[in-house]
Chains A and B, each alone.
Chain A
Amino acid sequence: MIGQLILNGFINAALLAPPAVAFTILFGILKFPNFAIGAYVTVGAFAAFAVNVQLGLPIWVAVVGAMAAGAAVAWLSDALVFKPLRGHAPVTLLVVSIAVAFILEQCVRLFYGGNVRGFDLALERPMRLWGLRITKEQLEILVISAVITLLVHLLLTYTAVGKAMRATADNPGLAEVRGIPHRRIAVFTWLLCGAIFGLSGFLAGLDLVIEPHIGWNLTIPIFAAAILGGIGSAGGALLGAILVGIAEELTVLVLPTTYKVAVGFLIITILLLFRPHGLFGQAEIKK
């Protein structure tokens, strides 16, 4: 059973890693925890549903639709809400992001109601490998998640735009002085992260159930993964997602299942108390 739980933990991690990486990149630019990320995930899930079920298009088109919708909504939320408030205290922006999350969720509810939905894909029985069970769908989630996380890592590490993103996150003023187009980089970051949130919505819809709370249910584990890995570290967010995913699964061996939801909060609390910059994040130097 432990082996299966650990494998299950990796599948959980595959759902959490891409949005945790996107969250941490976005934090670098925004400098506040954006609680609307769950709503971006929800929009992605419903966009994929609309393309796949309502328009009857293939699932890969639904993936593209989810990423496009996520990118559009994330960018719009910046253009209409966050950009005009730039310079306000992080706590103000945090509260505003909660409002954005509610507004987006209610917009989804307005068109789709509160009912559950699923993609036009048949559920499959598992394959059995060395006594462990895994479905084709879950394998695809693992692969997509790993590829996306790797691509983001390569983008940030080896490309000019990735380096510009990191420079902007580090010190936007200095980056601008060095000729980096700060505003365009910010827009690109929003679009990139929004697309990742949209993709996460598709993956979550595949694994869980499409309903207006789908993104909200993932928000705390995503935050926990990002904080555990260290805000600003994409690799750290990946490792954080794996640790959170496995921790949630193994909890049931020692605690009643009703305590499972507390794992994310517990990780955030412990990290903030003893290592606020996470496992791989860099402590901020204040002068």
Chain B
Amino acid sequence: MTSPRTLIEKTSLPTRRALIQGSAALAVAGLGAPSIARAADPIAIGSLTPNTGGGGPFGPNIAASHRRVVELVNGMGGVLGRPIMLFQEDSETNPEPSARAATKLINVNKVMAILGTWSSSVTLGIMPMCQERDIIQMCTSSSSDIPLRDAKRLVFNFQALSPVWGKAIAELCVQRGFKTYAIMALNNDFTKSMVDSFVAVVGKAAVVEEPFNYNGGQSSYRAEVEKLIARKPAAVFIPSYVQDFTAIYKEIFRAGYEGQVITSSLSTGPQFVQAVGKAADGIIHGFPVPPIGSPVYKEYLAEAGLKDTGQVQHPFGTAGRDQMSVLLLAIEKAGTLEAAKVGAAIHAVTTGPGKTSVTNVVDGLKALRAGKEINFNGASSSVEFDAQNQLKSRAFQLAQIKDGADTVIARLEETT
């Protein structure tokens, strides 16, 4: 019998452990090839995750979640009586290699959906070819342009849009009483609308320096930091990714700035703290978070082999689990791979009251096969979509780094 793992193809992996696992999978796949050929025609699904680049800290978790769900479902005989064939690629958090990877997934692997894109520029970058070929996309991207450009309503976003981030962070900052701000943001789709919504809440008068963008991957950020702190703002807001933010923050600290540094939580984390040491203390950061403490979040921690620390772990790995679960449940519900019908089924299995609540793909498939209507509640959120396929709500958390660890200072439940 073919092992579920034999139906997973990984072409680019970031870590030694992952490479070893991949090699093992390939070896097993080689042994099991004749079985694959005899099996029912597999359903091809693409996973395009940011294993390297700005999303590097998160991509491997998303990819691992996709694999786990596929292995579970293949262990149950797949969906519609067909096994799932998962093709995994690294987006490099970069639209250009992502476009190449998506072309391969669509034209060579014939996938019916591409899951796991993280950076907005990647999600938007592959959107035209996905729309042209009726490929469903599932992402955790925050650019406001995503619903605007999704003409066929085939993109399902498991993340709050960035205006929600900017608004939530700004509201929590206003509560803390900062009077003046300066803002510099990484030059990409994700940060633009976040800055606009941040300014709308704190007020233009409070922004003492015209917000400006910078490019990532520079050999120095000194000039930008000089500009940022020139007017001595009480707080600086820097939407960014961890690679550039770490270099920028070192420069801010070395420039002697004593005000409050605020960023998104994508820019911090244990590796950031290791890189800058005790200087990290005091930074405020916020982002949408999974429902920590909920049974389904604990379910995810167990699946991923993590201990419950009461802190946010794998913020995007949870979304990866939800993406693959929702897609496979929707395929089972739709009874077809036709994109429009699967899209409608995604709403049917996630949204709306009066249905049987399920928190994992196994229970969901059993319920569907028993003829029940289901509402999937995820480990990343309640996964309720609006008409534009955006999440209706997500929890949002503002934390401050103290003694190298995150201390939650404010939490907004179900921010919309």
Contacts and interface: CB of A to CB of B under 8 A. Distances in A.
Interface of A: 1, 4-5, 8, 11-12, 15-16, 53, 109-111, 113-118, 120-126, 128, 133, 135, 137-138, 207-213, 216-218, 221, 245, 248-252, 256-258, 260-261
Contact of B279 (A109, A122, A251): A122
The 7 closest A-B pairs by CB, nearest first: A114-B56, A118-B275, A123-B279, A8-B222, A209-B246, A115-B271, A252-B223
A217 B218 contact: yes
Nearest to B53: A114
Contacts of A126: 254-256
Nearest to A124: B254
A218 B220 CA distance: 9
A217 B217 contact: yes
Given A122-B279, A209-B246, A209-B275, A258 B256 contact: no
Given A4-B226, A114-B56, A123 B219 contact: no
B219 A15 contact: yes
Interface in B211-227: 212-215, 217-220, 222-224, 226-227
A251 B247 CA distance: 19
Contacts of B274: 53, 117-118
A12 B254 contact: no
Contacts of B254: 123-126, 133, 135, 137-138
Nearest to B275: A118
Contacts, number: 139
Nearest to A216: B217
Interface in B230-244: 230, 242-243
Interface string B257-277: 000000000000001101111
B215 A260 contact: yes
26 contacts: A1-B226, A8-B220, A8-B226, A12-B219, A12-B222, A109-B15, A109-B52, A113-B15, A113-B56, A114-B56, A117-B275, A118-B246, A118-B276, A121-B277, A123-B250, A123-B277, A124-B254, A125-B254, A217-B218, A252-B224, A252-B227, A258-B213, A258-B215, A260-B214, A261-B215, A261-B218
Nearest to A12: B220
A116 B275 contact: yes
Contacts of B255: 126, 133
B307 interface: no
Contacts of B276: 118, 123
A251 B220 CA distance: 13
Given A123-B277, A217-B218, A221-B219, A257 B56 contact: no
Contacts of B256: 125-126, 128, 133
Contacts of A250: 223
Contacts of A260: 214-215, 218, 223-224
Given A16-B219, A118-B275, A213-B243, A123 B57 contact: no
Which of B15, B222, B272, B276 has the most C-beta atoms of chain A within 10 angstroms of its own C-beta? Answer: B222
B147 to A, nearest CB: 26
A115 B267 CA distance: 11
A208 B14 contact: no
Contacts of A111: 16
A218 B219 contact: yes
Given A113-B14, A209-B243, A217-B217, A8 B57 contact: no
B19 interface: yes
Contacts of B52: 109, 114, 212
Contact of B242 (A5, A116, A213): A116
A252 to B, nearest CB: 4
Nearest to B56: A114
B223 A257 contact: yes
Nearest to B256: A126
Nearest to A105: B52
A249 B223 contact: yes
A49 to B, nearest CB: 10
A109 B14 contact: yes
B16 A122 contact: no
B51 interface: yes
Given A213-B243, A217-B217, A116 B271 contact: yes
Nearest to B278: A122
Interface in B8-34: 14-16, 19
B219 A257 contact: no
Nearest to B59: A114
B217 A256 contact: no
A124 B255 CA distance: 9
Contacts of B217: 213, 216-217, 261
